[in-house]
Structure 1
């Protein structure tokens, strides 16, 4: 990935985290199923993930494949 692509990915991640502070129940359930987290831990981990400016954003298509 070149520098411009990386900067764009970071900008998109920042934009998404600012737009939506609510965590959908479907996302919590998905993290519980995939990682074995409790509801509270899933919410915490999702929030940590969203607040990480260097995070990798997984598309809905990729989540569906899991």
Structure 2
């Protein structure tokens, strides 16, 4: 069974918009927490790291 966890930026709010991530075999899964049954995106750990780096560069407050 896949263990999904919410972003720490959701601050535990039930109705907050956020993503969920999961460690999959050799991949990282990403999905919309409000629509978990619509599928998920998978990235390699290296690509996921690049994505997070880019998001942090584009969002100075993160």
Do both proteins adopt the same fold according to a TM-score greater than 0.5, normalized to the shorter chain? Answer: no
- Larger relative CO (CA 8 A, sep 6+): 1 or 2? 1
- The two structures have a TM-score, normalised by structure 1, of 0.31
- The two structures have a TM-score, normalised by structure 2, of 0.32
* Structure with the higher strand share, 1 or 2: 2
